[in-house]
Structure 1
Amino acid sequence: MAVAMQTTAILGTGSYLPKEEVPNEEVAAPAGVTADWIERKTQITSRRRAAPDEATSDLAVRAAREALDQAGIDVGRIGYLIVATSTGDSPQPPTSCLVQDALSAHGAACFDINVVCSGFVYALAVAHSLIALRPGSYALVVGADVYSRILDATDRRTAVLFGDGAGAVVVGPAPGPSGIIGFDLCSDGGASRLIRVDAGGSRLPASYETLAAGGHYFRMDGRGVTDFVMKTVPPVLDGLLDGAGYRPHDVDVFVPHQANGVLLTELIGRAGLDGARTPRTLEKYGNVGSASVPVALDHANRSGLLSEGDLVLLAGFGGGMSIGACLLHWSAPPAPAARKGQTS
């Protein structure tokens, strides 16, 4: 599905990473590997873990406030509040409604999107379309996940990769010629078994048996995911660029899902994006799921990696299996330096 409307722009960014840092040494032993093995296979050296009293909505609220402050938009002007997550506070109510209440964003229509690690880009596309239908409105789009609560510490395919975090953007009317150019969203349900949580839904409700079998844990076929990404993501990115009249060498900043450092390096080469500036947050924060793209975008914004007018390409990919890509010209004002507890 391709969309091409230059009506909206990202006006501000924010992120929040929990305070607790978890080094490779801590997750290596339960997973049956070494800290050096984790860094060699993933390029990750640490990740963040939510405090016992922090849930996904708490992280989302912190990131949302950062984005609102940076955009200079009062929360009362937010018409839509979308949270992309696959680890909501609970099955019901929507996590977005909890975020709305905490922010006092009472005028916003709220809903969640679960497209796993592609969720933020999908949510951004929905926000873009809603604003196009209601010119002058604003949306708050948040990607947030707390994967530490659904990981099997003995599973080296997942336990060493994931961390907790949230990232957010404010989307609204483009201030000039810059703004969102277009999206490409696509899914392959035939590959849905590559990333999954088997139990806890309507097919396998939570029970003693599902808990004993570890059905509530996050599972992933890492080799299958890598093969899927390398085969499908570069053509999607190339198609989006080509449809807008650009080539990979035109991209100034590439903001991909921070899944795995080795995979990311290979993807950049396969997509012909070696010349683009690419923020990397996975070394310090690991894979933060649907928060990955907005956390990396906020990092780029607050570290001075982005300049007005830059051609920016966002790419999310993950469970479903799904891919979400967004092309835009950067227009948000420079963000202040990150504060303690934020990306830096």
Structure 2
Amino acid sequence: MTTASPRYSRIIGTGSFLPPRRLTNADLAVQLAKDDIETSDEWIVERTGIRARHFAEPDVTSSDLALPAARAALEAAGVKAEEIDLIIVATSTPDMIFPSTAALLQHKLGIHGCPAFDVQAVCSGFVYALTVADSMIKSGAASKALVIGAEVFSRILDFKDRTTCVLFGDGAGAVVLAGSDEPGIVASELHADGRHVDILCVPGNVAGGKVLGDPFLKMDGQAVFKQAVNVLEKVARSVLQKAGRSESDIDWLVPHQANIRIMQGTAKKLKMPLEKLIATVDEHGNTSAASIPLALDVAVRDGRIKPGHTVMLEGVGGGFTWGAVLLDF
């Protein structure tokens, strides 16, 4: 006798981790001044809303950051590591070319046998990974999943380019997703447009024991801003339509933490008061795939997001990728 697959999946626990080293804008300005690169706290805050970020030590990897985030999510969910039957890590800064960061994390958690793989959609990665895990749980392929965003973006920053190096930070965020008969993830939608691959990229690779191309992050800030503003409102409205909901049903908006102006602009277009916007970009900077689960965990743990609340997650990233998930807590 077979058991019917659950109709839904729900987030039952969240967790996050930031490396201890915190750099304020003033700290970063002093570091950059050594190479005659000028910046200031005022310049960074005015353009981005970022006041500080965390950088991992040189020997710390994405899976190292993912491990405490995963353990915190498991503890919050009341789930043992051996109960997990799916691990998906969203990252653009994997520990190795292969095996996957998810497989390395699986080993560090002391479990084995379940599928473990990475998703690479840059800053949209967590939304992509969560959507994949939701589909696998609904299909019956998994019952409890660890979905994690983990990044060490400090490794791919050009500290002679002040337009990018001041934006990013390192960290990890995690959720435990479990099958449920009650609605959790209500609707989701994913997109990509490869015509815009060059506006945000790291155009390098490893071959023959050497780095070919450029191993540092490159970004056309104005083009990214324009694309982000254009797609975030549209994908949010599309997901709401799929769910049969309206903007007024959203209790909290948790967007990718890239730029406070993009985040506030999206909230206003959705007719949401800024008090309903979860913003951690001021303290975390842009942590790429880790930014949404980091912000989500902060808001769950400080009591803003409560059971019964409806939350919209949305992200944009290199590729160009974007997507959104509507969920009930």
Q: For the superposition of Structure 1 and Structure 2, which TM-score range results when normalised by the shorter chain?
A: over 0.9
Shift of 1:136: 6.7
Q: Which residue of structure 2 aligns with residue 285 of structure 1? A: 284
Shift of 1:53: 2.3
Alignment size in residue pairs: 319
Q: Contact between 2:204 and 2:211, CA under 8 Å: does it hold in 1?
A: no
Q: Structure 1 pair 157/242, CA: closer, same or farther in 2 (3 Å)?
A: same
Letter in 2 for 1:164: D
CA shift, 1:260, in A, is 1.0
Contact 1:157–1:221, Cα closer than 8 Å, also in 2: no
- Report Cα offsets for 1:258-286 as digits up to 9, x if no partner: 00112211221123232662221111110
Q: Provide, for residues 53-111 of structure 1, a one-character-per-residue CA deviation record: whole Å limited to 9, x for no partner.
A: 21111001110000001001111111110100000011111111110000012132110
Q: Which amino acid aligns with 2:310?
A: L
Q: Report the Cα distance in structure 2 between the residues aligned to 1:206 and 1:229, rounded to whole angstroms.
A: 36
SS of residue in 2 equivalent to 1:157: helix
The question of whether the paired residues in 2 share the 8 Å contact of 1:251 and 1:276 is answered with no
For structure 1, the residue ranges without an aligned partner over 5 or more in a row are 331-344
Could you tell me which residue of structure 2 aligns to residue 173 of structure 1?
Answer: 179
- CA-based RMSD of the aligned residues comes to 1.7
Counterpart for residue 118 of structure 2? 112
The 3-state SS of whatever aligns with 2:204 is coil
Residue 43 of structure 1 aligns with which residue?
49
Identity of aligned residues (%): 40
| Of 79, 83, 88, the match for 1:77 | 83
Given that 2:267 and 2:274 are in contact with CA atoms closer than 8 Å, whether structure 1 keeps it comes out as no
What TM-score does the superposition give when structure 2 sets the normalisation length?
0.93
Question: How far 1:244 sits from its partner (Å)?
Answer: 1.3
Residue of structure 1 equivalent to 2:229 = 230
Which ranges in structure 2 are unaligned for 5 or more consecutive residues? 1-5
Structure 1 moving runs of 4+ over 4 Å: none
Match of 1:18 in 2: 19
Contact 1:249/1:276 (CA < 8 Å) preserved in 2? no
Q: Which residue of 1 aligns with 2:58?
A: 52
CA contact (8 A) 1:8 1:132 kept: yes
Deviations 1:150-205 (A, max 9, x none): 1001212210110000000000022x534111111011111111110011157xx7
Secondary structure of 2:297's counterpart equals helix
1:109-148 aligned within 5 A: 109-134=115-140, 137-148=143-154
| Distance in 1 (alpha carbons) for counterparts of 2:237 and 2:273 | 14
1:200 aligns to 2:205 (yes or no): yes
Q: Which amino acid aligns with 1:74?
A: K
Q: 1:7/1:135 Cα in 2 relative to 1: closer, same or farther (>3 Å)?
A: farther
Q: Does 1:95 align with 2:94?
A: no
- Whether the 8 Å contact between 2:264 and 2:277 is mirrored in structure 1 is no
8 Å CA contact retained: 1:257, 1:293: yes
Distance 2:315 2:229 in 1: 13
- Which residue number in structure 1 is paired with residue 3 of structure 2? none
C-alpha distance in 2, partners of 1:201/1:11? Answer: 39
Match of 1:221 in 2: 220
Question: Is the contact made by 2:8 and 2:183 (CA closer than 8 Å) also made in structure 1?
Answer: no
Give me the TM-score of the superposition, normalised by structure 1: 0.89
After superposition, the C-alpha distances for 1:308-327 in whole angstroms (9 at most, x for unaligned) are: 11111110111111112101
Specify the alignment match of 2:195 in structure 1: 190
Q: Is the 8 A contact 2:122 2:289 kept in 1?
A: yes
Q: Does the 8 Å contact 1:12/1:67 carry over to 2?
A: yes
**Amino acid of the structure 2 residue aligned with 1:189:** G
2: distance between equivalents of 1:40 and 1:292?
20
Whether the 8 Å CA contact 1:115–1:319 is kept in 2: the answer is yes
Change (3 A) 1:299 1:207: same
SS of 2:117 mapped into structure 1 = strand
1:193 alignment partner, SS class = helix
Cα separation, 2, equivalents of 1:86 and 1:230: 22
Residues in 2 aligned to 1:285 and 1:172: alpha-carbon distance in whole angstroms: 28
